[in-house]
């Protein structure tokens, strides 16, 4: 079932969903099941599965030259989605990126997941790999998520890259995209960010999932800006509980989001990471309760493969 249908069927009641990471290469899928099992009592209608593009590593040859090697550290998004749908009978949503894919790769990826009966995707540009400062697309790939959304939308109309195909089948994907309550790190302004978000909706996107935020007013202001610009699709808030002191520096640096002063000082004063985890859970519970009162469609949690704190939050809400 499509995400938009799940929301419609909920009749205004908030749904629970979460996002998981594929395991590192060499690990089996049981680690994924172990992170999902504790959360199934909250009846998630769908589970997001991230896609991690390849990275480059350099190896010095006997000649002294450097050889560039492509390494994929977290493969398996499509297989994990198939396993989730088979084991739990909930909708699994693969992320699909511009980075690391040619347009033909994208089409083949979409054909594969369509054959598996997967009806939802999240279309993202993706970040620059560690060895690059700025995002660089594949030679025959998409530069922007707006283009990726258009390709998925075209498949929904039966338009493939090979224009000579006869009697081509239409796919029926529900397309999710990312929204940034504190704007994308590369956007020159919030207005420009909303402009391109609106373009993705125009190109065929059906709903928005936000980047994590720790101040609900940022989300409320973002939704208000979107609605003012005529964006009417569901806007799902993305939440993540702080779990370690290290994240006080890591989260703002990696995700370019602000942490409220009250949260920062509570974490700074905590005696250890066990105390930090409890602070993060309580903060996220309060965020969630306020968001539920505002009648959000879904509470979406970035679990990062850790179920314990997400379960504690869900127990207080659902």
Please check the confidence at residue 57 and state whether its pLDDT lies above 80: no
* C-alpha–C-alpha distance, residues 240 and 232, integer Å: 25
How many Cβ atoms from other residues are within 10 Å of residue 304's Cβ? 17
Taking a C-beta distance cutoff of 8 angstroms, is the pair 88, 39 a contact?
no
Total domains in the chain come to 1
Model confidence pTM above 0.75? yes
* C-alpha–C-alpha distance, residues 149 and 127, integer Å: 17
Q: Which residue in the block uniquely carries the two structure tokens 């703002």?
A: 252
Please check the confidence at residue 279 and state whether its pLDDT lies above 80: yes
> pLDDT digit string (tens) for 103-152?
999 999 999 999 999 999 999 987 656 556 555 666 778 888 999 999 99
| C-alpha distance from residue 54 to each of 27, 69, 72, 100 (Å) | 17, 10, 4, 7
How many Cβ atoms from other residues are within 10 Å of residue 34's Cβ? 11
The share of the chain scoring above pLDDT 70, in percent, equals: 89
| Residue 9, CA atoms < 13 Å, CB-side half-sphere | 8
Q: When comparing pLDDT for 167 and 3, which is higher?
A: 3
pLDDT classification of 274: cutoffs 50, 70, 90: very high
Please check the confidence at residue 318 and state whether its pLDDT lies above 60: yes
* C-alpha–C-alpha distance, residues 104 and 141, integer Å: 8
How many Cβ atoms from other residues are within 10 Å of residue 182's Cβ? 22
pLDDT classification of 214: cutoffs 50, 70, 90: very high
Kindly report the CATH number assigned to the domain that includes residue 49. 3.20.20.220
pLDDT of amino acid 285: 98
* C-alpha–C-alpha distance, residues 219 and 297, integer Å: 13
pLDDT of amino acid 56: 47
pLDDT of amino acid 54: 55
Residue 315 makes CB contacts below 8 A (sequence gap 6+) with none
Cα 143–Cα 98–Cα 113 angle in degrees, nearest 5: 145
pLDDT classification of 7: cutoffs 50, 70, 90: very high
Taking a C-beta distance cutoff of 8 angstroms, is the pair 134, 106 a contact?
no
Report residue 318 as tokens: 């659902």
Q: When comparing pLDDT for 210 and 187, which is higher?
A: 210
Q: Furthest-apart CA pair in the chain: how many Å?
A: 66
Q: Which residues of 4-29 are buried (b: 16+ CB within 10 A; e: fewer)?
A: bebbeeeeeebbbbbbbbbbeeeeee
Domain containing 180 equals 3-317
pLDDT of amino acid 174: 98
| C-alpha distance from residue 101 to each of 137, 138, 174 (Å) | 8, 6, 20
pLDDT of amino acid 67: 54
């Amino acid at each position: 079932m499509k995400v938009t249908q799940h929301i419609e069927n909920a009749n205004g009641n908030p749904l629970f969903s979460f996002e998981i990471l594929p395991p590192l290469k060499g690990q089996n899928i049981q680690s994924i099941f172990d992170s999902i099992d504790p959360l199934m009592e909250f009846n998630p209608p769908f589970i997001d599965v991230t896609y991690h593009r390849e990275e480059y590593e350099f190896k010095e040859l006997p000649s002294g030259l450097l050889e560039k090697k492509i390494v994929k550290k977290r493969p398996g998004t499509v297989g994990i989605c198939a396993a989730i749908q088979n084991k739990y009978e909930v909708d699994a949503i693969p992320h699909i990126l511009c980075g690391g894919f040619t347009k033909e790769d994208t089409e083949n990826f979409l054909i594969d997941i369509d054959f598996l009966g997967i009806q939802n995707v999240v279309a993202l540009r993706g970040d620059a790999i560690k060895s690059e400062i700025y995002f660089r697309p594949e030679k025959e790939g998409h530069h922007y998520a707006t283009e990726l959304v258009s390709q998925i939308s075209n498949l929904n109309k039966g338009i493939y890259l090979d224009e000579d195909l006869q009697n081509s089948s239409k796919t029926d994907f529900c397309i999710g995209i990312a929204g940034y309550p504190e704007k994308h790190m590369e956007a020159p302004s919030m207005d420009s960010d909303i402009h391109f978000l609106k373009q993705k909706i125009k190109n065929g996107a059906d709903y928005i999932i936000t980047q994590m935020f720790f101040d609900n007013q940022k989300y409320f202001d973002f939704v208000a800006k979107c609605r003012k610009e005529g964006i009417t699709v569901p806007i799902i808030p993305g939440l993540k509980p702080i779990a370690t002191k290290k994240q006080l520096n890591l989260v703002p640096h990696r995700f370019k989001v602000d942490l409220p002063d009250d949260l920062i000082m509570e974490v700074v004063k905590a005696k250890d990471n066990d105390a930090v985890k409890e602070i993060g859970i309580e903060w996220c519970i309060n965020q969630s309760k306020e968001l539920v009162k505002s009648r959000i469609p879904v509470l979406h949690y970035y679990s990062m493969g850790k179920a314990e704190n997400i379960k504690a939050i869900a127990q207080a809400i659902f």
